[in-house]
Amino acid sequence: MKKIKNLFYRESEVEKFVEKHVELVGECYEKLKLLMENFYEGNYDEVEKLAKKISELEREADEVRRKMELKYYSGAFLPFDREDRILLTEKTDKIADTIESVAFSISLSKIRFPKILKKNFREFIDAIDKTLKAFEKSMENLDKDYGEAIKKAHETEKLEENADKVERKIIKKLFKLYKNKKIGTVKLLGLKEITTKLGHIADQAEDASDRVLIIAAKIRG
């Protein structure tokens, strides 16, 4: 009986860590949204401040991830479930890593953002945001409502596909601007790298949602 109580206690602790971890990942993206607005306007002092804040949030998320993993290795959740949850934690953490990488790239680039692309990038940031929000909802429901967790994981996949379409549209437009001599080689390559890295955020959310599906399916049988 004592072992069962300890198991449930550890699981309860892990659930709190999961909630905090997902919250920190979400905060990273909220800061990135602000960073992008300053990037469009060329406010690089603010871009650097926000990039630094994102790094701090990413480190905090990393610390929470390590604490979670220690709880898993100490026996939280049953063995058949534990490995999937560790993988889910790692995949979720990669979202924060990718956000930090994008922020760092932008802060170093000092690119003068082409105003003609502002609408496209805002559409892209919104598409990624919707993908992340759906993933967050799937995580929120993982141990509460498996049906809803599965539904939101599938929604994450669909929203990632839309983000992917917007990404391809931007890259196509970048090459068109380059071909028409509206932007130079350095700007083309810099903005293409930033666009690709932004797309990886949605990709990572979709990868993590796949693990939610696996966990929910195993539990439901």
pLDDT digits (tens, 9 = 90+) for 120-165: 999 999 999 999 999 999 999 988 898 999 999 999 999 999 999 9
Query: In sequence order, which residues have a C-beta less than 8 Å from that of residue 5 and are 6 or more positions away?
Result: none
Of the ranges 10-24, 138-152, 197-211, the best mean pLDDT one? 197-211
* Rounded Cα–Cα distance for residues 22 and 152 (Å): 15
What was the pLDDT predicted at 3? 39
Domains, the chain, in order of start with CATH, read: 2-220 (1.20.58.220)
Q: Give exposure, 81-92, as e/b (b: 16+ Cβ within 10 Å).
A: ebebbbbbbebb
The model's pLDDT over 193-203, given as tens digits with 9 standing for 90+, comes to 999 999 999 99
What was the pLDDT predicted at 171? 98
What was the pLDDT predicted at 221? 60
* Rounded Cα–Cα distance for residues 143 and 60 (Å): 24
Task: With both helix axes pointing from N to C terminus, report the angle between 146-179 and 118-140 in degrees, rounded to the nearest 10.
Answer: 160
* Rounded Cα–Cα distance for residues 143 and 75 (Å): 17
What was the pLDDT predicted at 81? 75
Q: What is residue 142's DSSP assignment? A: T
User: Where does residue 78 fall: left (phi above 0), alpha (psi -120 to 50 degrees), or beta otherwise?
Assistant: beta
* Rounded Cα–Cα distance for residues 170 and 172 (Å): 5
Q: What are 69's two structure tokens?
A: 């993993």
Q: What are 56's two structure tokens?
A: 């701090």
pLDDT mean over 67-79: 75
pLDDT mean over 170-178: 98
Between 92 and 216, residue with greater pLDDT: 92
pLDDT confidence bin for 11, thresholds 50/70/90: low
* Rounded Cα–Cα distance for residues 66 and 181 (Å): 49
Q: Are 202 and 131 in contact (CB under 8 A)?
A: yes
Q: Which of helix, strand or coil describes residue 43?
A: coil
